Structure 1
Amino acid sequence: MTATPAAVQTVTVERAMPHPPEKLWRALTQPHLIAEWLMQNDFSPERGHRFQLRGEWGGVLDCEVLEIDPYETLAYSWNFASDDPAFALESVVTFTLTPTPGGTLLRMEQTGFRPDQKQAFGGAKLGWQQFLGKLDELAGRLD
């Protein structure tokens, strides 16, 4: 008898933003702008590029660009190594931009949370709301 893997959980946040996809794309893919709304980083918008996100809390996330379709989709791995299995995370973050008459519908999905990672899952739900609020504010300041 084979064991069935536990279902992974996904955090999904959708936000209508009054900015064109091109403006949000800049904020999602330019390292100095990513640092303003998310974390310090060495991101490059190239499939296969490995980069790190460095949190103010001292943690480092190891990431790799998995998909990049300008002005439409950006996906990257979002991995955090920890000796404590409750905090070790291997996930994928995907941003999808859909033009709307008033701007863009931005959808963010982070998938890969195990059922035993309730604290990480809850933190991501709250954290992404805050990150996307900062992204919206930043996009409003861009020319």
Structure 2
Amino acid sequence: MDESLVVRRETQIAAPPATVFAFLTDPQKILSWMGAEAETEVHPGGLYLVKDVGGRPGRTARGQFREVVPVHRLAYSFGWEGDDAAPPGSGLVEIDLIDRDGGTLVRMTHTGLPNAEQCANHAKGWAHYLGRLRVAAAGGDPGVDDFARSLAV
């Protein structure tokens, strides 16, 4: 594995692992911090789908759950519909939820990214969305998702 094409992020969330797990797997809770529509089948081989990510119509993340350990760990394939560089199933997102300091340490690793540009874009996206997750899972309102606007030059 080319370590230069791996995105790693950690964030501490002021909520228990069960709450954070729900915000990563329950479609209604996912919508509080990412996307306009979500569908999940939370079991190995089940669907992971989030539409209109970043407020961009047609930007759809799709994958399949590979590992589900309730309240502790998720792993799912990941990619973008209509994106030849990073199509559905081309990447792997692994998320560990660690009970720490009265809350949850979220440790995320995204592998399988094809090049430095995709890696940089995903690193920026994960920083944005893990920040939104941190707010939502702790009971706050992350506000309107302006990620697409931040990409405009």
Whether these two folds match at TM > 0.5 is yes
Counterpart code for 1:28: L
Contact 1:31 1:44 in 2 (8 A): no
Percentage of matched positions with identical amino acids: 26
TM-score calculated relative to the size of structure 1: 0.83
The equivalent of 2:92 in structure 1 is 92
The residue aligned with 1:141 is 139
For residue 32 of structure 2, what is the aligned residue in structure 1? Answer: 36
| Greater than 4 Å deviation, 4+ residue runs | 81-84
Q: What is the total number of aligned residue pairs between the two structures?
A: 134
Paired residue type of 1:127 = G
For residue 81 of structure 1, report the CA deviation from its aligned partner: 4.6
Q: Show CA shifts across 1:7-32 (max 9, x none).
A: 36210001122211111011111001
- Note closer, same or farther for the CA distance 1:50–1:84 as it changes in structure 2 (3 Å cut): closer
The Cα of 1:83 is off from its aligned counterpart by 6.3
| Whole-angstrom CA distance in 1 between matches of 2:105 and 2:49 | 27
The answer on whether the counterparts of 2:11 and 2:134 sit within 8 Å (CA) in structure 1 is no
Report the equivalent of 1:79.
Answer: 79
- Structure number with the higher strand fraction is 1
Shift of 1:47: 1.6
Alpha-carbon distance between aligned partners in 1 of 2:84 and 2:19, rounded to the nearest angstrom:
39
> Residue 53 of structure 1 contacts residue 63 of structure 1 at CA under 8 Å; is this kept in 2?
no
| Matched ranges for 1:59-138 at <5 A | 59-82=59-82, 84-85=84-85, 87-88=86-87, 90-114=90-114, 117-138=115-136
CA contact (8 A) 1:92 1:110 kept: yes
* Stretch deviating more after TM superposition (44-53 or 23-32): 44-53
Structure 2 CA distance for aligned equivalents of residues 91 and 27 of structure 1: 21
CA radius of gyration, larger in: 1
Match of 1:92, SS state, is strand
Q: Which runs of 5+ in 2 are unaligned?
A: 141-153
Distance in 2, matches of 1:66 and 1:113, equals: 17
